[in-house]
Structure 1
C-alpha cells in the first residue's frame, strides 16, 4: 500500500501543527472529525488498518453503550453551541470516552450499567490512567460528567455516576495575581517592547489571551473597551472600563507601533522588505503584523521561562489581578461580575482569593481598632483631648492615655472638643469611611470627610449624642484609594 490509497479513505480529518513562525512542525490524521487518531504514515498498512478498525467499531455500535451516548452529545445543540476552541478541546476527550480497545477503556459500557453504583470503580480506573497528569485526568472526568448529564437530561440515565468522584489536582490559585515585581521581571526578560505589553494589558483589561490577541483599536472607545468574547462564541460583548493606567499603556503601545512602522518603512525603502501597514490589532509583533494565537502564547511562555526570578503566574491569573483593581476602584461584586462575565457568587469567592494581603490585614486592623475604641468609650465618659498630627501619625489610633484625658475634662471643655478624626469613624478599606461615634452626626462627618479625608488629623466639634445606625443602615463616604491605602498602612503598623 502507498499514499495513493489515502484519498480512497473517506472522511479523514487532517490537523497541521505549526510553530510560531508558521512553519509546519507535524501533521496528524484522524479517522473522522473527533474520531481516533490514525498511527503510521498515510497509505501504510498500519494507517489503513487503524482506519478500517475505527469505522468497524463505529458501525458495530448498538446505540446502547457509553460511546454512542458520547457521540450523541457531540452531535447535540448543547455541544455545537459551545465556543469553537472548547469544542476542539472536548472532542479529544470524547474520543477517549468512546475508546473500547484496552483494559481501562469505557466506551463499551452498556447504558444500563451506568446507573449501577458499582460502575464508579470503572470510571475511576479510567480516570487514573492519567494520574501522573492530574489536570488531564480531571478534565477527562469533567467531559465525561457532561456526557452523563446530557444522558440524564434526555431521559437515558437516572443518575450521573461521575458526580462526587472528586479531583486529583488540588492546585490552589489563592493570591495568584501578577504583582509589580512579576511584571518587572517579565518586562526585563522580554525580547521586544511588543511582547512586554502582553501581561500588562491582560492585568488592565481582564481579557483572556484568545481575546487579547484579536483586540482591535476599533474596539477601544474613549471610556471603555467593547469586545465580543471568544468563550461566548462571540455572542456576548465584554464592556471593560478604561482605567487611567490602561489609557497610559494603550498610548505607549500605539507609540511603539508607530515607531516600529517607521523602522519597517525605512527597511522597505532600502529594498529589505515589503512596505508595511499599521496593524489593526492592539498587540502586534516586531514585523508590524498581528499575532497568531499559537505564536503569541509561545512567546509569552518563553519570556516567563527566561525571567529572573522566574514568573510562575499564569496569564489567566491576570483576570484576578484586574478584579482586584476594579475592587480598589470602588466597583461592587455585581459590577465586577458584569465586566468579567462571571456570576456574582463566583465573583464573591474569587475576590476573597485574589484580594491582596495588605487589604486583608488593613481590614483586620481597622476592625480591631474600632472594637477596642468602642470598648474604651463604653467604660469611660468622653472628654477633650489635644493631639498633634505627629503623635497621631506615630500611633495611628487613640491610646488609653487619650481616653483618660477625656475622662478628666470639664463640661465646659467638652463643649468644643478637639479630637483625632480616626476616633470618630472607621476606615472600611475600599468601601470608604463609616461613622462609629455617637458624639457627631452623619451630616457633620460627611462634610468633614469631603473637606479632607485624612483621618489622622485633629478636628474640633461640639459634642452631642446621635444614635448609631445598624450596619445595614450605616452611611459610608468614599475616599481616594491612595489615601485609604496610606492610612491602612499606618493602622496596620500601629498594631504590629
Structure 2
C-alpha cells in the first residue's frame, strides 16, 4: 500500500478544466513518479529512484579521485589544468593503490606524502604538481563531507623559482621585433598589446575582431573581456589576408597547436639569442607597462581578466619587486614635490 512507503511527496493540481489531479514524487524536490500509485510497479520505481540518488560510497583514494574527475568542479577546470591533474593522478594511484581513506586521516599520512613528494625533487615543478593535485583531491573530499582533513596541508613546496625580474625589457622587445619571423612576430604583438594568455591567443578567430576591438572569452577563467586594439596592432591585423578562421597560424597557414607553438617559439628565441624570458612573461610585461603609464589596478584588471587581488599580487611579488624604473619613479616624484614646495 502507498501509505507504507515513506517519503512520498504528493501534490494536488487543478487543471484548466477544473479537474483536480494528484502528482506523486519520490520525495520533495525529487523525480516525478510515473507508475500508478498502490502498485508493485510504483514501489519498484521508488526503490530505483532512491538507489540512483544514493551517494557513491567512497572508501579508497582511488574512488575519491574517480569521484573528483566525475564532478562539476573538475569539469569546470581549464583543459590544461585537467591534463596536469590526470598525469598526477596516475602517479598517485601507483603509489597508493586502493589506500583506505580512513588511513589518510590518521597520524603519519603527512610524513608519507612528504616523503613521496621528495622523490620527485630532481624536478621540483613536477613534484609540486603532484602535491597540488593530491591536495586538490583531498579538498574535494572535504567539500563533499567524505573526509575531514587534508594531510597535504603544511607541506613545503620544492620549487622556489621566481618570475620577479622576468619582464621583457625595451631592448629585448626591439630585438625580437627586428628579427622574428612573421607568424611569431604577430603572436608577439598580440600578446604584448592585449596581455592575454597563450591559449586564448592561439584560439583567437577573425570573428572576434570587429576592426576596433577584440572580444575574448578566457579559457582558464571563463571571463569575457573586450579590448580596444592598439593602432600598431590594428595596422598589422588590417593588412593581413584572412584565408583561415584563426588569426594566428604557422608558416603553412595552419592553426597552431599548443605544443607546436611552444616548440617554434623556443627555437625562435634561441635563434635570436633571447634568454631569461618566456612568452607568458609578455602578459606580466603588459601589466607592468600599463601600471608604469599610470593605469590603475582596476583598469588593468578589466583588460587582463585578473581579479584586483591577482593584479596586485602580480605587480607586488612577481614583476615590480625588482623593477628599477618603478622604484626610481617614486624618488623622482618626491623630488618634483620638493621643488614645488621650495617655490
TM-score by length of 2: 0.75
Does residue 72 (structure 1) correspond to residue 67 (structure 2)? The answer is yes
Residue 189 (structure 1) shift: 4.9
Shift of 1:96: 1.5
Distance 1:247 1:216 in 2: 19
Q: Which residue of 2 aligns with 1:126?
A: 116
Structure 2 counterpart of 1:176, from 162, 166, 184: 166
Aligned to 2:195: 206
Counterparts of 1:212-291 in structure 2, within 5 Å, are 212-232=201-221, 235-242=222-229, 246-255=230-239, 257-258=240-241, 278-291=243-256
Equivalent residues of 1:106, 1:126 under 8 A apart? no
Q: Which residue pairs with 1:155 in the alignment?
A: 145
Secondary structure, in 3 states, of the residue corresponding to 1:130? coil
Q: Secondary structure at the match of 1:285?
A: coil
Gaps of 5+ in 2: 1-56
Secondary structure of 2:327 counterpart: helix
Does 2:261 align with 1:296?
A: yes
For residues 251 and 330 of structure 2, what CA distance do their matches in structure 1 show?
45
Partner of 2:105: 115
C-alpha distance after superposition, 1:421-463 (max 9, x if no partner): x414xxxxxxxxxxxx8x8xxxxxxxxxxxxxxxxxxxxxxxx
Whole-angstrom distance in 1 between the partners of 2:174 and 2:206: 26
- Contact 2:249–2:255, Cα closer than 8 Å, also in 1: yes
On the 8 A contact 1:225/1:241 being kept in 2, the answer is yes
SS in 1 for 2:215: strand
Deviations 1:370-396 (A, max 9, x none): 4xx4xxxxxxxxxxxxxxxxxxxxxxx
Residues 59 and 101 of structure 2 are in contact (CA less than 8 Å); yes or no, is this contact kept in structure 1? yes
C-alpha distance in structure 1 between counterparts of 2:68 and 2:183, whole Å: 42
Which of 180, 197, 205 is the aligned partner of 2:186? 197
Residue 272 of structure 2 corresponds to: 307
State the shift of 1:311 in Å: 2.5
Cα distance, 1:169 vs structure 2: 0.6
Structure 1: gaps (5+ residues): 1-61, 100-104, 259-276, 374-421, 425-436, 440-496
Q: 2:297 is matched with which residue?
A: 333
Task: Name the SS of the counterpart of 2:256 in structure 1.
Answer: coil
Deviation larger for 344-353 or 147-156: 344-353
- What is the CA-CA distance between 1:253 and the residue it aligns to? 4.4
Q: Deviations over 1:309-338 (max 9, x none)?
A: x32212111111111232234332122223
For residue 319 of structure 2, the aligned residue among 338, 348, 354 is 354
Out of 78, 81, 99, the position equivalent to 1:83 is 78
Instruction: Quote the residue 1:423 is aligned against.
Output: 340
How many pairs were matched up? 284
Q: Return the alpha-carbon distance in structure 1 between the equivalents of residues 175 and 122 of structure 2.
A: 31
Partner of 2:280, secondary structure, is helix
SS in 2 for 1:239: strand
The whole-number CA distance in structure 1 between the counterparts of 2:231 and 2:163 is 29
- Normalising by structure 1, what TM-score? 0.53
Q: Give the distance between the partners of 2:238 and 2:107, measured in 1 at CA.
A: 60
Is 2:128 the partner of 1:138? yes
CA distance in 1 between counterparts of 2:156 and 2:234 reads 43
SS at match of 1:109: coil
Q: How does 1:4-153 map to 2 (within 5 A)?
A: 63-99=58-94, 105-153=95-143
Q: Aligned with 1:149: secondary structure? A: helix
What is aligned with 1:386?
A: none
Conservation of the 8 A alpha-carbon contact between 1:141 and 1:162: yes
SS in 2 for 1:122: helix
Larger Rg computed on CA atoms: 1
Deviation at 1:302?
A: 1.1
